[in-house]
Amino acid sequence: MTGPLQDITVVDLSRALAGPHAAMMLGDMGARVIKVESPTGDDTRGWGPPFVGPEDDPISTYFLSANRNKESITLDLKSDDGRDVLTRLVQRADVLIENFRPGVMDRLGFGNERLHELNPRLVVLAISGFGHDGPQGGRAGYDQIAQGEAGLMSVTGPDADTPQRVGVPIGDLLAGMYGAYGVVSALHERNTTGTGRVVRTSLLAAVVGAHAFQGTAYTVAGHVGHAQGNHHPALSPYGLFHCADGDVQVACGSESLWVKLANAFGIDPATPGMATNRERAANRDRVTAALNEAFSTWRLDDLLPRLDELGIPAGEVRTIDRVYDWDQTRSQGLVLDVDHPVLGSIEIPGPPIRLDDNAFAGGRETHLAPPMLGQHNESVRAWLADEDPA
């Protein structure tokens, strides 16, 4: 193992996406992550299409997205053997991650008090749907429901009457990111205190935590934001515009950029109603129409270089395939080659962090393919048999 977390062992009891994403982030930084699955496996092993591999035992690409750099062991936590193995894992672990509904870990005999009896240095990450307490703390959490309940869908979509979910399970992903951040903070604190603590987050907390300016617009100014399509609610021009053969996104974050943009494309920047950002935001449709007309004779391959020459932040709208085939994406280590025990050599998305000037992404030089169900049953049990809890 290499990486800043190479001395950390993580027991990942979570399934689906939020918890597995947090564990994967820790694994990317070098932690040893042991994924504990039921005998039937993480639910996402059955989520698809698309599936790949043998027809009689297909492999979910959804599962592959959240479980790189992990080992898999299967345990029936309602059996004596399963509880015994988990007990020994807890005694040797630095981190335990779970995203059961509040109360499930207690019923299994592994509530937080018991976990810290077994291992006072253990950092526990508990991810729930709506929080572990409060009037609705016991609710099950699913990403799209959380996106709606936490207000994200109300500010996403073409207009206020058409709420829209984000195209990826952003609540799950954010909860995983916040959870990993909390775990690393608790591990740092443990260096001083010698004891672990329980880190909690939820899909609700994660989405509310990402409200940014939409949150303070309400809490400070009493303004309730709503969906405005592909245009920024506070800046103009800042959004998606049309040219002769496609779409271009332009971001004018200052008055000087607006002046450059307007002058270059035949628009008087001092036109009444467009002279300041406050005016342009109030007259967004008018500004958008003016730029759409100005761009209408430009092809994307000519327009983007011109905007770059002017220093105007701009970009095209890529499909997923064109993102992964893009040389810039690959130059950042965002595509990994890994050897899968069934699929052979495959490419999977890589970690979004690079340390120093390393060409590889994440904190480790080599990455593990997402495991098959129970692939490491024997090796993990052998390690537990050889290792002393101390």
Catalytic residues: 172
HEC states along the chain? Answer: CCCCCCCCEEEECCCCCHHHHHHHHHHHCCCEEEEEECCCCCHHHHCCCCEECCCCCCEEHHHHCCCCCCEEEECCCCCHHHHHHHHHHHHHCCEEEECCCCCHHHHCCCCHHHHHHHCCCCEEEEEECCCCCCCCCCCCCCHHHHHHHCCCHHHCCCCCCCCCCCCCCHHHHHHHHHHHHHHHHHHHHHHHHCCCCEEEEEHHHHHHHCCCHHHHHHHCCCCCCCCCCCECCCCCCEEEEEECCEEEEEECCCHHHHHHHHHHCCCCCCCCCCCCHHHHHHCHHHHHHHHHHHHCCCCHHHHHHHHHHHCCCEECCCCHHHHHCCHHHHHCCCEEEEEECCCEEEEEECCCCECCCCCCCECCCCCCCCCCCCCCHHHHHHHHHHCCCC
Angle CA(283)–CA(298)–CA(237) in degrees, nearest 5?
20
Residue 229's alpha-carbon distances to 146, 154, 163, 211, 226, in angstroms, are 21, 11, 10, 17, 9
Residues 6+ apart with CB under 8 A from 169: 17, 143, 144
Tell me phi and psi for residue 105, to 5 degrees.
-60, -35
CA-closest candidate to residue 346, choices 26, 61, 20: 61
User: Cβ distance 148 to 207 under 8 Å?
Assistant: no
Q: Which two tokens stand for residue 354?
A: 């690079």
